[in-house]
Amino acid sequence: MKCSWVALAAAIGLAALPGLAQAASQSRMADNGGVKIHYMVEGQGPLVVMIHGFPDYWATWKPLMAELSKAGYRTAALDGRGYNLSDKPAGVAAYAMPNLVADVAAVVAAEGQKDAIIIGHDWGAAIAWQVAFNRPDLVRRLVIMSVPHPVGFAREMATNVEQQKNSQYARNFQQPGFEKNLTAEGLAGWVQDAKEKPGYVEAFKRSDFGAMLNYYRANYPSGTGAASAITPAAPPRVKVPVLVIHGMKDTALDAAGHAGTWNWIDADTTILMIPNAAHFVQHDAAPLVNRAIKDWLKARP
C-alpha cells in the first residue's frame, strides 16, 4: 500500500529529516504516471529546474538556489527517481531516459508552468540535454555541467583512449549486483563540507543503490571503442542559448568532449572551463559557477 506523502511529512516532521528542511525552502511532490518525484522550491520568478547526478541529491543545489532566488527566480531542485524522498520504482526499464525526461516535465507541470530554465550536472546534465532534444517546448535556457553533448561524448568514447579508460567505473556499475559494493557513507565520500555530509549520508540511506546504478544500466553506452559511438540518429538541434561549465580536473568526463558543441546548437553557446575544478564543479568552484550562471541568465531574459 502506498503511503500518503502529506501524511508522512505531517507524521515525522520535515525538520526531522537531515538536509531537507531549510528556512527559505519548501518541499513539494510532482507526479509522473504514479511515480512521485520530490523537489524543493525557493524564491519567486521565472522557474529554474535543477537536476542532480550520481551520487547526489537535491541539496547539491543549495548555494545556487540561494543565489538565484535572491536574483528573482523560483528554483526547483529535484531528487531523481531512486534517490532520497522520490519514489524508487523497480527494474532497469523504469530508469530509461524517456522516464527521466518525463520526471522533469512533471516538476514543471507541478509548478503550473509551461517551460523553465533547465540546469543539470552529471546524470542531471545528460537528462537536461535530452529534455532539450525531446521536449524543447519545456526549455527556455539550458545550463549543462560536466556532460558533453551526446555527439561529442560518442566521439570521445570511440576515439579517446583516456575517456574509454575513465569510463571503466560506468562499466562496473552496469554489472549485476554491483550495488552490493556501495554504502551511504562511501557514496558521500566526495562531499567536503562537514556540515552538509551528514545530510548526504541520510539521503543516501533513504535511496536505492540499485536504482542509482540503473541509470547506467538503462542509458550509458555499453560498448567500447567504435561500438560505443553507435547511435540511432543524430539528436535534434538545440534552439535555445546554452551554457556549458566543466571542471578540467574531472576524471570521469574528458573536457575534450565539449569541443564542437556549438555545431549542434542554433543559439549562442557559452563554454566555461575551470582549470582547478573537478567533476563536482558546482562545489569545487561554487562562487564562480553560481555567479557565472546568474550573470549569464541576466543577459538572456
For 143-198, write each residue's pLDDT tens digit: 999 999 999 999 999 999 999 999 999 999 999 999 999 999 999 999 999 999 99
| Angle ∠(55,43,244) on CA atoms, nearest 5 | 50
- pLDDT of 13 > 60? The answer is no
Nine cell digits for residue 181:
559494493
What confidence score (pLDDT) does residue 231 get?
54
Using alpha carbons, list the distances in angstroms from residue 134 to 98, 130, 237, 282.
9, 6, 10, 26
Q: Which amino acid is at 222?
A: S
Question: For 18-36, what is each residue's pLDDT tens digit?
Answer: 334 344 799 999 999 999 9
Name the CA dihedral angle for 152, 158, 162, 167, rounded to a multiple of 10 degrees.
80
pLDDT tier at 227, thresholds 50, 70, 90: low
Residues ≥6 apart with Cβ < 8 Å to 226: 158
Mean pLDDT of 210-222: 94
**What's the rounded Cα separation, in Å, for the pair 268 and 1?**
49
What confidence score (pLDDT) does residue 1 get?
37
What confidence score (pLDDT) does residue 225 get?
57
CATH number, domain 18-298, options 3.40.190.290, 3.40.50.1820, 3.30.70.20, 1.10.10.10: 3.40.50.1820
Report phi then psi at 269, rounded to 5: -125, 120
pTM of the shown model? 0.90
What confidence score (pLDDT) does residue 8 get?
34
- pLDDT of 44 > 60? The answer is yes
**What's the rounded Cα separation, in Å, for the pair 119 and 285?**
16
Question: For 228-281, what is each residue's pLDDT tens digit?
Answer: 555 557 899 999 999 999 999 999 999 999 999 999 999 999 999 999 999 999
